[in-house]
Amino acid sequence: MNRNYIKLEQFGLEMYMVSLTIEDLIEHYKIDLYDPKTDDGYQRPPIPPHFRNIGKYLKKENPILPSAILAAVSEDQIKELSENLLEINGKIRIVDGQHRIEGFKYLNKIDENRFMEMRNFQFPVIILKINENQRLHEINTFIDINSKGKKVSTDLAIRLRDKNRNENAEFLNEHSQVIESIATNVTLELNNSLKSPQWLHSIKTSPNEYNNIISINAFNTSLFPLIKSILKDKEIKSIDDIKELSTMIFNLLVESWNVIYKKWSNCFTDTQGFKKEYNLQKGIGVHSLHLVLNNCYINANYSLNKTLENFIGIIDESPATYQDWISGGKLSGYNSASGFSKIAKYIETGELKE
């Protein structure tokens, strides 16, 4: 299909703004869905209640939907025929907007006449020019959109981004990417290792998992302060360096959570698994306890052995009780970055500021 376009560029990434009808989108779109057999793909299937609600709304209302659909194509799918005309071939990958498209498809099922009325409804569409073997840009865009302001899970995308990073060492020059790579390695290892019974199969990493207590995104984020501190004293030159440091942090976390389990064993099951009625292994507890661990590392002059020794002393002497971790209890109102710092201070000193 050929469409008029406006060309944009941001940090070397080429984009095209075009106008597509809903029929164009339905005919030419695809979604990079997660495949559990290959562990590939980064999006969940469309959620029926979401797109059905959109379809029902479209049936009754005359909506204005100015928000752009975000899509991606490979370089060989797109050709500038002139300064104004763009040729687009094959399927376009929808990065953001799949539920709106599915909503129109559902409208066609429940009210074909209404759909025919709206089939030429035009959407602004921004198309990123990204080869499929360079999907890291596409995945990063999806994560940025859905982790800032939207309540959309990015767990799959985080896993796929890590997989893509391990195939391309270019990210080693980006400090934030190195931090997330280490965090993801540690989190996945904790979730899959018998050495960490408190976290075995407890972290949500895909849409097929339901009985979990925290997401990979939340757990990763809780590790960022500690990893940033450790990287001040470590030089990362290769993926092997990342793997080595990830193993060191994994071992530190295993020992630290054994200490936490001994202190607040009532917050765990008989097999050291999580109990959802306690905040200890939810964001509130994990962020706060990992801040304590980071403080121990800093005060130990960047010695991991001394860090664990300091952590054991603080947790053993902490006035915090297992009742403090009850969901809806004493610490439940501190679910923010400043709140995590206050809980960390409470664990260390017994002082809890409002």
In this structure, the number of other CB atoms found within 10 A of the CB of residue 190 comes to 22
Of 190, 188, 191, 189, give the one whose Cα is nearest residue 201.
191
C-alpha to C-alpha distance for 289 and 266, rounded to whole angstroms: 17
Q: What are phi and psi of 127, to 5 degrees?
A: -110, 120
Per-domain boundaries in the chain: 2-140, 168-349
Q: What is the reported pTM? A: 0.62
Give the span between the Cα atoms of 336 and 343, in whole angstroms.
Answer: 10
pLDDT at 304: 86
User: What confidence score (pLDDT) does residue 343 get?
Assistant: 96
State how far the Cα of 147 lies from the Cα of 294, in Å rounded to an integer.
24
CB atoms inside a 10 Å sphere around CB 35: 9
List the chain pLDDT tens, one digit each, 354 residues.
899 989 988 877 888 999 999 999 999 999 888 777 777 777 778 889 889 988 988 888 777 777 888 888 888 899 999 988 999 999 998 888 888 899 999 999 999 999 998 888 888 999 988 876 667 777 777 766 665 555 555 665 666 666 666 666 667 878 888 998 899 999 999 999 999 999 999 998 876 677 899 998 899 999 999 999 999 988 888 888 999 999 999 999 999 999 999 999 999 999 999 999 999 999 999 999 999 999 999 999 888 889 999 999 999 999 999 999 999 889 998 989 999 999 999 999 989 887
Is residue 67 packed enough to be buried (19+ CB in 10 Å), middle (13-18) or exposed (0-12)? Answer: exposed
Give the DSSP per-residue string, 293-340. HHHHHHHTTT-HHHHHHHHHHHHHH----GGGGBTTSTTTT--SHHHH
3-state secondary structure 58-115: HHHCCCCCCCCEEEEECHHHEEECCCCEEEECCCEEEEECHHHHHHHHHHHHHCHHHH
Provide the token pair at 109: 């099922």
User: Under DSSP, is residue 252 helix (H, G, I), strand (E, B) or coil?
Assistant: helix
